[in-house]
Structure 1
């Protein structure tokens, strides 16, 4: 996986300028080369030491730059900028959005994690627009129910606009959640659980049939092996890889810039 010239033209202005070095040493490797190496790790799920030495910068360079960008919150800023580009290109459709969660098992001792029935791992919450463009991403312990994570996921949005309707499965069937979202102008649409009284009529629920769009986006994220299984001990590092996966998806969908 390598960035195309068109993609780098979009991304280059969004990376921070490096601090001027006062001491002598090796010149700093270009951000594009390093990012290509990090994307190779994202796609393959390999360990840093497995980076092909003849194709990418050293594992130390790529890992340190990844840590540096994570600490500077570079990836969320890029996502926000790509979100704005999507609005300019009029490819975002906020008339409705879809929410769902997925689970990434953890191989190592993840600090923000839990041991639910599926085993130790991390939950990834995703919101996409009517076209499947990712709007928000949130990672947390796998223990809390998804209905309790809706607000945190909305707060993690790449932009400031809330969708008019938020559509989920039966896990989001809650009178309390319906009322809370209605207060901020969002209609929650979810089929009722068996033990619940009927609160949704047939007309809004027709939108539920399009929930496959969020499932498709989750499948795209899970195609990156570094996201499918969590190898990072630090929660921030794992979130950084998930955000990077969203950046790749947004580049494909917003500016129609496929990755080589």
Structure 2
């Protein structure tokens, strides 16, 4: 599941799950497991999702989740998020299919970039950040289409070089159907800044049928790619508009990745809403 992005229409309470979004999510969720607390009713999935969204939007710690809003306990919402992430709920793919069916995915080029986030504690996919005095940190890697619609995101340690994640991120792009003909998952070209400047990866992109458009180090006048690359920077800004993603609070990498994926879905859902 993945500034100013709300579930449903723009509203002052973005954690409220709209009927339209719930109709997309509900069929994808795994069947409820056995009730762990005998004699206590299971918190409905829609309410638990509201609690997860509350944490994602506000950045509040799980133990302080307001009980009076009807979400259930923070631990209940945490367990539900972990279970859905493990089950591989593919909401992002459903949304991308809707966009492709409407002709709104720009496969002519994709844009890649990353951003550092500080980690509150050590954990997997963390590491000393070269941009934050070697403090613990992680990196959010983002690949978008030509308009800035997120195609794939990933989490690595703060000390990982951007270019090492280029192919891994491309491999995470799902195969998107939605129109007559072959499903698609590869852009025609890939745009990147100097952090991805490496002849080896240019060759590997050509082998995949993708034209590399990567800025070269040492070019004084700039590459001119900023005219096209700004869309991925905007998407990263949208991701970090979700307060829970500004700092990595989770020791477990899978939980932070679940939040990152959910925020990605919310951004993509905003583009789907524009189809109306």
3-state DSSP of counterpart to 1:101: strand
Q: Distance in 2 between matches of 1:232 and 1:181?
A: 34
Q: Distance in 1 between matches of 2:201 and 2:153?
A: 19
Q: CA deviation at 1:30?
A: 1.5
3-state DSSP of counterpart to 1:54: helix
- 1:57 paired to 2:72: yes
Q: Distance in 1 between matches of 2:25 and 2:100?
A: 17
- 1:80 paired to 2:93: yes
Cα deviation, 1:128-176, whole Å, max 9, x if unaligned, reads 0111100011111121211111011111223351111110111112211
1:158 corresponding residue in structure 2: 174
Q: Distance in 2 between matches of 1:132 and 1:193?
A: 25
Cα deviation, 1:98-117, whole Å, max 9, x if unaligned, reads 10001111011222211022
Question: Gaps (5+ residues) in structure 2?
Answer: 1-13, 176-183
Q: CA deviation at 1:64?
A: 1.4
Q: Distance in 2 between matches of 1:209 and 1:32?
A: 41
Q: Distance in 1 between matches of 2:231 and 2:88?
A: 28
2:156 corresponding residue in structure 1: 140
- 1:212 paired to 2:208: no
- Whether the 8 Å contact between 2:129 and 2:138 is mirrored in structure 1 is no
Return closer, same or farther for 1:25/1:256 CA change in 2, 3 Å cut-off: farther
2:145 corresponding residue in structure 1: 129
1:199 corresponding residue in structure 2: none
RMSD: 2.3
Q: Distance in 1 between matches of 2:190 and 2:246?
A: 25
Question: Gaps (5+ residues) in structure 1?
Answer: 197-201
3-state DSSP of counterpart to 1:16: coil
- 1:12 paired to 2:36: no
2:60 corresponding residue in structure 1: 46
Q: How does 1:1-260 map to 2 (within 5 A)?
A: 1=14, 2-19=16-33, 25-55=39-69, 56-74=71-89, 77-117=90-130, 118=132, 119-159=135-175, 161-194=185-218, 208-256=226-274
Q: Distance in 2 between matches of 1:27 and 1:192?
A: 59
Q: Give the TM-score taking structure 1 as reference length.
A: 0.89
Q: Distance in 2 between matches of 1:236 and 1:20?
A: 23
Q: CA deviation at 1:15?
A: 1.4
Q: Distance in 2 between matches of 1:173 and 1:187?
A: 14
- Whether the 8 Å contact between 1:168 and 1:208 is mirrored in structure 2 is no
- Whether the 8 Å contact between 1:89 and 1:254 is mirrored in structure 2 is no
Cα deviation, 1:1-34, whole Å, max 9, x if unaligned, reads 2221111122221212223669953222221111
Q: CA deviation at 1:180?
A: 0.3
Q: Distance in 2 between matches of 1:25 and 1:235?
A: 33
Higher relative helix content: 1
- Whether the 8 Å contact between 2:24 and 2:91 is mirrored in structure 1 is no
3-state DSSP of counterpart to 1:110: coil
